[in-house]
Each structure stands twice: as C-alpha cells, then as structure tokens.
Amino acid sequence: MDALFSQLFAGLSLGSVLLLAALGLALTFGQMGVINMAHGEFIMAGAYTAFVLQAFIPDAGVSLLVALPVGFVVGGLLGLLLEVTLISRMYRRPLDTLLVTFGVALVLQQLARDVFGAPNVDVRAPAWLSGAVPFLGMNLPKTRLFILGLAIACVVVLSLVLKLTSLGRRIRATVQNRDLAETSGVSTRATDRLTFFVGSGIAGIAGVALTLLGSIGPTLGTNYIVDAFLVVVVGGIGQLKGAVIAAFSLGLLQATFEYSTTASLAKVLLFVVIVAFLQVRPQGLVSVRTRSLA
C-alpha cells in the first residue's frame, strides 16, 4: 500500500517535470506550429541562470526564488532572439525550421561548454527544500512537491493569461485564424514574437526547477526534448489542457511500468502505448474544433 502511494506520487511528480518541460513547447509548437529543437537548450539556459545567480546571491533559497523570474526572462530573450533572427524567416517551412533550430541547439550547447566548462555544475538546494514531508506514512520529498506546485502555478497563470488578457485573446485569435485576426487589426507579427517569448520563458523556468532534481550540464536539454515533444503530440496540438493531461498520464504510466518492470523496459512500453494511441487518435487527446472557413 505504501509502495502504491509512493509510486502514485512518483508518477505525479514525473508528470509535473514533463509538464514544465513541455508547457513552453505546447505554446510555441502547439499553438504556433514551430518545431523548435532548441527548446531543450532554453531549459539548459534556465538551469545555468540558477547556477550563475547562486554565485552572486549566497542564500540558496533567495537565489532560487530570484532565479525563477530571471530564468523566465533569460529563456524568453533567447527565444525572442531566435524568433526574430531565424524562425520568422521560415514560417511555413517546417523542415527548414527543424534543421535550423537543431543547429542552434548544437551551437548553444557548445557555447555553454565553452563558457561554463564541460563538466556538470552544481546548484545547491535551499535548506527549506531538503528532506521530506511525512504524509499518510509516506515521505514526500519537498523538492518534488515544490516542482509539482510550480508546474500547477505555471499552468494556471498561463491559462489565465490566455483566457483573460488581451494578449491571450490575440494569441488565440492568431492561432485560430491568422488572416481574420490580421484583418481585425491584430498585429500577428507582434503576437508571434510575444508568444515565442512566453513559451521560451517557461522553458527557462523549467530549467531552474530541474536544477533541484538532476544534473546541470551542456546536454541537459537533450535529456528532456524528446519527452517534451511526446507530451505535446500526445496531448494534441493547440490546447494546453491536452498537454496537462498528457504529461500526468505519461508520468503515471512511466512510473507504473518502471515499478513493475525495469527502467529500460518501461521506456519501451511507454513508446508502444504512445504509438498505439496515436494510431487510434492521431490528433492527440484534445484537439481544437473550429469551423473551417476556407
């Protein structure tokens, strides 16, 4: 029973990590249709932001909290730069975008290697996040609770922004019908840039959060990029809701498979399930239903 609840929590926690890594992608890939292979490197940039800030702010707790917004801005600015210089020139050329952003990913990795050195670096976890919270006989690691909370907060804020603000309305309008949005006076160009900024910024936040769990090195992003795309594809293009459901389902499935078999086999089983699922529902869990205008 204990093990069951522990695994349930492990699955939710894994889901929240997947969600954080994929949320930004759900915006840039899901909403805008840009295949950004450098998304993982924005995560990496966020992680290194936490590392750099720690050198300036001795208190690990304060520096983590400062790193979250700073990581957002760093990731966002990198994304904005990429959008303005490269991606904006190749909308409607998805395969070119894929190759170009893959190249950018390699450049960013090498840049990190040159600036910070090839070995991994360490970000100290604050004292108030060490240890675990006893709950129903289980011990829930505080770092994982923190990440779960952070992921939920990001989703809530993002969906509120999309729903209530004028920026959100412009984003949704552009996604649903770019031409009509433009004729209605929405600057789709500016909207694209902002969307990309926000999406990449969330990757930065994810990077900061991941410093609590794993290694911080130049290839941090490549560890998560596949899973992030999986979440968005399974969740369905164009809806945040899909990404949320997909992230937690995949997390729970992975944890269950891993507990009953082995880590390697669990990955295989997960892919089998995803392939089978996409056979039945190629559009993903949740798809946008709009009336076609053309």
Partner 1 sequence: MTTHTLPLRTTRKRALALSAAALAAALTLSACGGARTAEGTAGTASASGGASCVDTSGDSIKIGFLNSLSGTMAISEQTVRDSLDLAAEEINAAGGVLGKQLQIVAEDGASEPTVFAEKAEKLISSDCVAAVFGGWTSSSRKAMLPVFESKNSLLFYPVQYEGLEASPNIFYTGATTNQQIIPGMDYLAEQGKKKVFLVGSDYVFPRTANKIINAYAEANDIEIVGEEYAPLGHTDFATIVNKLKSSGADAVFNTLNGDSNVAFFKEYKNVGMTADTVPVVSVSIAEEEVGGIGVDNVVGQLTAWNYYQTVESPENETFVAAFKEKYGENRPTSDPMEAAYTSLYLWKGMVEKAGSFDVAAIQEAADGVSFDAPEGTVTVNGDNHHIAKTAYIGEIGPDGLIYSIWESDGPIEPDPFLEGYDWAEGLS
Q: Label residue 141 left, alpha or beta by phi (over 0 means left) and psi (-120 to 50 means alpha).
A: beta
Region of 163-171, 194-202, 239-247, 251-259 interacting with partner 1 (CB under 8 A): 251-259
Residue 132 tokens read as 């675990």
Distance (Å, rounded) from C-alpha 191 to C-alpha 133? 42
Candidate residues 139, 165, 184, 187; the one interacting with partner 1 per rule CB under 8 A = 139
CB 257 within 8 A of CB 266: yes
Please pick, from the candidates 225, 245, 247, 285, the single residue that binds partner 1 as defined by CB under 8 A.
Answer: 225
Angle, CA of 88, 89 and 91, to the nearest 5°: 70
Q: Is 213 in the site for partner 1 (CB under 8 A)?
A: yes
Please work out the total of residues on this chain that contact partner 1, with binding judged by CB under 8 A.
Answer: 81
Q: Near partner 1 by CB under 8 A, which window of 32-40, 63-71, 149-157, 197-205? A: 32-40
What whole-number distance in Å separates Cα of residue 123 and Cα of residue 103? 28
Q: Is 277 in the site for partner 1 (CB under 8 A)?
A: no
Structure tokens at 142: 């505080």
- The reply to whether 161 sits near partner 1 by the rule CB under 8 A is no
Q: Within positions 109 to 128, which residues make up the interface with partner 1, using CB under 8 A? A: 118-125
- Compare residues 160 and 263 and give the one whose CB is closer to partner 1: 263
Which listed residue (26, 112, 147, 212) binds partner 1 by CB under 8 A?
Answer: 212
Q: Does 141 bind partner 1 (CB under 8 A)?
A: yes
Check residue 170 for interaction with partner 1 (CB under 8 A). Answer: no
Q: Which is nearer to partner 1, 124 or 169 (CB)?
A: 124
Nearest approach in angstroms of CB 89 to partner 1 is 7
Binding-site member from 61, 73, 159, 177 for partner 1 (CB under 8 A): 177
Among 77, 80, 188, 241, binds partner 1 (CB under 8 A): 188
C-alpha to C-alpha distance for 156 and 152, rounded to whole angstroms: 6
Cβ of residue 252: shortest distance to partner 1, in angstroms?
A: 11
Task: For partner 1, give the closer residue by CB, 73 or 129.
Answer: 129
**88 binds partner 1, rule: CB under 8 A:** yes
